[in-house]
Amino acid sequence: MSNNFYQKLISDNQIYVMGILNVTPDSFSDGGKYFNLNLATEHAFQMIEDGADIIDIGGESSRPGAEEVSVEEEINRTIPTIENILKHKPNAIISIDTTKWLVAQAALEKGAKIINDISGLADENMLEVVKKYNASIVIMHMQGKPRTMQENPKYENVFEEVYEYLMNKINSTKAKGVSSIIVDPGIGFGKRVNHNYELLRNLAKFQQLESPLLIGVSRKSLIGKSLNLEIENRDIATIILETDAVNKGAKIVRTHNVKNAVQLKKINKLLTN
Protein backbone atom coordinates (compact mmCIF):
# COMPACT_ATOMS: atom_id res chain seq x y z
CA MET A 1 0.00 0.00 0.00
CA SER A 2 1.61 3.25 -1.12
CA ASN A 3 1.53 6.50 0.80
CA ASN A 4 0.20 8.86 -1.86
CA PHE A 5 0.96 12.06 0.03
CA TYR A 6 4.56 11.07 0.72
CA GLN A 7 5.17 9.91 -2.84
CA LYS A 8 3.97 13.28 -4.10
CA LEU A 9 6.08 15.09 -1.49
CA ILE A 10 9.32 13.43 -2.55
CA SER A 11 8.68 13.44 -6.28
CA ASP A 12 7.50 16.96 -7.10
CA ASN A 13 9.57 20.12 -7.23
CA GLN A 14 7.56 22.41 -4.98
CA ILE A 15 7.47 23.33 -1.33
CA TYR A 16 4.52 22.61 0.94
CA VAL A 17 2.88 25.03 3.33
CA MET A 18 1.78 23.56 6.67
CA GLY A 19 -0.68 25.81 8.49
CA ILE A 20 -0.60 25.69 12.29
CA LEU A 21 -3.88 25.07 14.12
CA ASN A 22 -3.51 25.02 17.90
CA VAL A 23 -6.66 23.85 19.66
CA THR A 24 -5.14 24.65 23.03
CA PRO A 25 -5.69 27.32 25.69
CA ASP A 26 -1.96 28.01 26.15
CA SER A 27 0.10 27.83 22.93
CA PHE A 28 2.69 30.61 22.69
CA SER A 29 1.38 32.44 19.62
CA ASP A 30 -2.36 31.87 19.43
CA GLY A 31 -3.22 30.02 22.65
CA GLY A 32 -6.96 30.10 23.26
CA LYS A 33 -7.75 31.81 19.96
CA TYR A 34 -9.09 28.63 18.36
CA PHE A 35 -9.95 26.69 21.53
CA ASN A 36 -13.46 26.22 20.21
CA LEU A 37 -14.66 23.73 17.58
CA ASN A 38 -16.32 26.24 15.27
CA LEU A 39 -13.49 28.80 15.47
CA ALA A 40 -10.89 26.09 14.91
CA THR A 41 -12.75 24.73 11.88
CA GLU A 42 -13.26 28.20 10.41
CA HIS A 43 -9.56 28.96 10.80
CA ALA A 44 -8.65 25.68 9.08
CA PHE A 45 -10.99 26.50 6.19
CA GLN A 46 -9.43 29.96 5.89
CA MET A 47 -5.90 28.50 5.79
CA ILE A 48 -6.97 26.00 3.11
CA GLU A 49 -8.56 28.84 1.10
CA ASP A 50 -5.33 30.82 1.51
CA GLY A 51 -3.42 27.92 -0.02
CA ALA A 52 -2.22 25.73 2.85
CA ASP A 53 -1.28 22.23 1.67
CA ILE A 54 -1.38 20.69 5.16
CA ILE A 55 -3.20 21.59 8.38
CA ASP A 56 -1.20 20.66 11.48
CA ILE A 57 -3.54 20.24 14.45
CA GLY A 58 -2.18 20.20 17.99
CA GLY A 59 -4.04 19.68 21.24
CA GLU A 60 -1.11 20.04 23.63
CA SER A 61 1.06 23.14 23.82
CA SER A 62 4.79 22.62 23.26
CA ARG A 63 5.82 26.12 24.33
CA PRO A 64 8.61 26.27 26.94
CA GLY A 65 7.21 25.47 30.38
CA ALA A 66 4.02 23.91 29.02
CA GLU A 67 2.17 21.40 31.17
CA GLU A 68 1.32 17.97 29.78
CA VAL A 69 -2.32 17.07 29.14
CA SER A 70 -3.98 13.68 29.32
CA VAL A 71 -4.61 11.46 26.31
CA GLU A 72 -8.36 11.88 26.81
CA GLU A 73 -8.14 15.67 26.92
CA GLU A 74 -5.91 15.80 23.85
CA ILE A 75 -8.32 13.54 21.92
CA ASN A 76 -11.29 15.65 22.99
CA ARG A 77 -9.55 18.78 21.70
CA THR A 78 -8.32 17.46 18.35
CA ILE A 79 -10.58 14.72 17.00
CA PRO A 80 -13.82 16.74 16.66
CA THR A 81 -11.83 19.38 14.75
CA ILE A 82 -10.38 16.77 12.38
CA GLU A 83 -13.85 15.29 11.81
CA ASN A 84 -15.33 18.71 11.16
CA ILE A 85 -12.64 19.71 8.67
CA LEU A 86 -12.75 16.45 6.70
CA LYS A 87 -16.54 16.43 6.68
CA HIS A 88 -16.50 19.62 4.61
CA LYS A 89 -13.03 19.33 3.02
CA PRO A 90 -12.52 15.59 2.45
CA ASN A 91 -9.34 16.12 0.42
CA ALA A 92 -7.60 18.18 3.10
CA ILE A 93 -4.25 16.79 4.28
CA ILE A 94 -4.34 16.68 8.08
CA SER A 95 -1.30 16.33 10.32
CA ILE A 96 -1.68 15.49 14.01
CA ASP A 97 0.86 17.20 16.24
CA THR A 98 1.21 14.73 19.11
CA THR A 99 3.67 12.62 21.05
CA LYS A 100 1.04 10.07 22.17
CA TRP A 101 0.30 6.98 20.11
CA LEU A 102 -3.33 6.78 21.23
CA VAL A 103 -3.96 10.34 20.04
CA ALA A 104 -2.15 9.62 16.77
CA GLN A 105 -4.19 6.47 16.24
CA ALA A 106 -7.47 8.28 16.89
CA ALA A 107 -6.49 11.01 14.41
CA LEU A 108 -5.40 8.55 11.70
CA GLU A 109 -8.64 6.61 12.13
CA LYS A 110 -10.50 9.82 11.32
CA GLY A 111 -8.43 10.49 8.20
CA ALA A 112 -5.22 12.29 9.24
CA LYS A 113 -2.23 11.39 7.03
CA ILE A 114 0.78 12.69 8.99
CA ILE A 115 2.03 12.35 12.55
CA ASN A 116 4.12 15.31 13.67
CA ASP A 117 5.98 13.95 16.71
CA ILE A 118 8.14 16.54 18.48
CA SER A 119 9.48 13.87 20.85
CA GLY A 120 11.28 12.00 18.06
CA LEU A 121 9.32 8.76 18.58
CA ALA A 122 9.87 8.63 22.33
CA ASP A 123 6.66 6.58 22.58
CA GLU A 124 7.70 3.12 21.42
CA ASN A 125 4.17 2.32 20.22
CA MET A 126 4.11 5.24 17.77
CA LEU A 127 5.87 3.38 14.95
CA GLU A 128 3.34 0.56 15.06
CA VAL A 129 0.57 3.11 14.55
CA VAL A 130 2.49 4.69 11.64
CA LYS A 131 2.84 1.27 10.00
CA LYS A 132 -0.77 0.24 10.61
CA TYR A 133 -2.18 3.32 8.91
CA ASN A 134 0.63 3.80 6.37
CA ALA A 135 1.10 7.35 7.64
CA SER A 136 3.97 9.78 7.19
CA ILE A 137 6.00 10.57 10.31
CA VAL A 138 7.76 13.83 11.18
CA ILE A 139 10.74 13.10 13.44
CA MET A 140 11.94 16.18 15.32
CA HIS A 141 14.95 16.84 17.52
CA MET A 142 14.31 18.23 20.99
CA GLN A 143 16.67 18.38 23.94
CA GLY A 144 14.60 17.63 27.04
CA LYS A 145 10.84 18.10 27.30
CA PRO A 146 8.72 21.22 26.69
CA ARG A 147 8.41 21.96 30.40
CA THR A 148 12.17 22.09 30.92
CA MET A 149 13.79 22.30 27.48
CA GLN A 150 14.82 25.95 27.72
CA GLU A 151 16.24 25.84 31.25
CA ASN A 152 19.86 25.15 30.29
CA PRO A 153 20.34 23.63 26.82
CA LYS A 154 23.96 22.65 26.10
CA TYR A 155 25.77 21.28 23.04
CA GLU A 156 29.37 20.68 22.07
CA ASN A 157 28.43 21.12 18.40
CA VAL A 158 24.72 21.67 17.89
CA PHE A 159 24.64 20.90 14.16
CA GLU A 160 26.61 17.67 14.45
CA GLU A 161 24.56 16.48 17.43
CA VAL A 162 21.19 17.22 15.82
CA TYR A 163 22.31 15.73 12.49
CA GLU A 164 23.56 12.54 14.14
CA TYR A 165 20.36 12.24 16.19
CA LEU A 166 18.17 12.53 13.10
CA MET A 167 20.35 10.16 11.08
CA ASN A 168 20.14 7.51 13.81
CA LYS A 169 16.36 7.98 14.08
CA ILE A 170 15.95 7.62 10.32
CA ASN A 171 18.00 4.42 10.30
CA SER A 172 16.20 2.83 13.25
CA THR A 173 12.79 3.85 11.86
CA LYS A 174 13.54 2.37 8.43
CA ALA A 175 14.84 -0.79 10.11
CA LYS A 176 11.38 -1.21 11.63
CA GLY A 177 9.70 -0.97 8.25
CA VAL A 178 8.71 2.70 8.13
CA SER A 179 10.15 4.80 5.29
CA SER A 180 7.73 7.75 4.92
CA ILE A 181 9.95 9.97 7.06
CA ILE A 182 10.14 13.77 7.31
CA VAL A 183 12.80 15.38 9.52
CA ASP A 184 12.70 18.57 11.58
CA PRO A 185 15.80 19.98 13.35
CA GLY A 186 13.54 21.43 16.05
CA ILE A 187 14.26 25.14 15.96
CA GLY A 188 13.49 26.54 19.42
CA PHE A 189 13.19 23.16 21.10
CA GLY A 190 15.89 22.88 23.75
CA LYS A 191 18.16 25.37 21.99
CA ARG A 192 19.54 28.80 22.77
CA VAL A 193 19.28 31.61 20.21
CA ASN A 194 22.83 30.99 18.95
CA HIS A 195 22.09 27.25 18.62
CA ASN A 196 19.07 28.02 16.43
CA TYR A 197 21.04 30.29 14.11
CA GLU A 198 23.84 27.73 13.88
CA LEU A 199 21.30 25.14 12.70
CA LEU A 200 19.72 27.58 10.25
CA ARG A 201 23.13 28.50 8.79
CA ASN A 202 23.86 24.81 8.22
CA LEU A 203 20.39 23.82 7.06
CA ALA A 204 21.47 22.78 3.56
CA LYS A 205 23.59 19.98 5.04
CA PHE A 206 20.44 18.25 6.33
CA GLN A 207 19.64 17.37 2.71
CA GLN A 208 22.29 14.65 3.04
CA LEU A 209 19.80 12.77 5.25
CA GLU A 210 17.72 12.20 2.08
CA SER A 211 14.43 12.79 3.89
CA PRO A 212 12.17 15.80 3.25
CA LEU A 213 13.02 18.65 5.64
CA LEU A 214 10.36 20.47 7.64
CA ILE A 215 11.22 23.83 9.15
CA GLY A 216 9.29 25.66 11.87
CA VAL A 217 10.51 29.16 12.74
CA SER A 218 7.18 30.95 12.75
CA ARG A 219 7.05 33.77 15.34
CA LYS A 220 9.50 31.94 17.59
CA SER A 221 11.48 33.51 20.41
CA LEU A 222 14.74 33.54 18.46
CA ILE A 223 13.10 36.30 16.39
CA GLY A 224 11.79 38.13 19.44
CA LYS A 225 15.12 37.99 21.23
CA SER A 226 17.17 38.91 18.15
CA LEU A 227 15.03 41.88 17.10
CA ASN A 228 13.24 42.79 20.35
CA LEU A 229 9.82 42.09 18.82
CA GLU A 230 6.58 40.95 20.42
CA ILE A 231 4.87 37.89 18.92
CA GLU A 232 2.36 39.89 16.85
CA ASN A 233 5.21 41.76 15.11
CA ARG A 234 7.33 38.78 14.02
CA ASP A 235 5.79 37.87 10.66
CA ILE A 236 8.25 39.79 8.46
CA ALA A 237 11.26 38.19 10.15
CA THR A 238 9.45 34.85 9.97
CA ILE A 239 9.07 34.95 6.18
CA ILE A 240 12.71 36.05 5.81
CA LEU A 241 13.86 32.99 7.76
CA GLU A 242 11.39 30.74 5.92
CA THR A 243 12.69 31.99 2.56
CA ASP A 244 16.27 31.32 3.61
CA ALA A 245 15.27 27.83 4.77
CA VAL A 246 13.57 27.05 1.45
CA ASN A 247 16.66 28.23 -0.42
CA LYS A 248 18.65 25.73 1.67
CA GLY A 249 16.35 22.83 0.87
CA ALA A 250 13.42 22.95 3.29
CA LYS A 251 10.47 21.14 1.70
CA ILE A 252 7.73 21.91 4.25
CA VAL A 253 7.24 25.31 5.90
CA ARG A 254 5.25 25.09 9.13
CA THR A 255 3.79 28.53 9.75
CA HIS A 256 1.13 30.70 11.34
CA ASN A 257 0.96 33.11 8.39
CA VAL A 258 -0.15 30.91 5.51
CA LYS A 259 -0.67 33.81 3.08
CA ASN A 260 2.97 34.87 3.34
CA ALA A 261 4.26 31.31 2.97
CA VAL A 262 2.05 30.70 -0.07
CA GLN A 263 3.53 33.78 -1.73
CA LEU A 264 6.97 32.33 -0.98
CA LYS A 265 5.88 29.02 -2.52
CA LYS A 266 4.64 30.71 -5.70
CA ILE A 267 7.73 32.90 -6.14
CA ASN A 268 9.98 29.93 -5.43
CA LYS A 269 8.22 27.92 -8.12
CA LEU A 270 8.67 30.73 -10.66
CA LEU A 271 12.36 30.99 -9.82
CA THR A 272 13.14 27.29 -9.88
CA ASN A 273 11.00 25.87 -12.71
Q: Which residues are known catalytic residues?
A: 220, 254
State whether residue 74 is helix, strand or coil: helix
- What stretches of the chain adopt beta strand conformation (E)? 16-22, 54-58, 93-97, 114-117, 136-140, 181-184, 214-215, 252-255
Exposed, middle or buried by CB within 10 Å (0-12, 13-18, 19+), for 238? buried
Q: Which of 16, 88, 47, 242 lies closest to 6, judged by CA?
A: 16
Strands 136-140 and 54-58: unpaired
Strands 114-117 and 93-97: parallel
95 forms bridges with which residues in the sheet? 56, 114
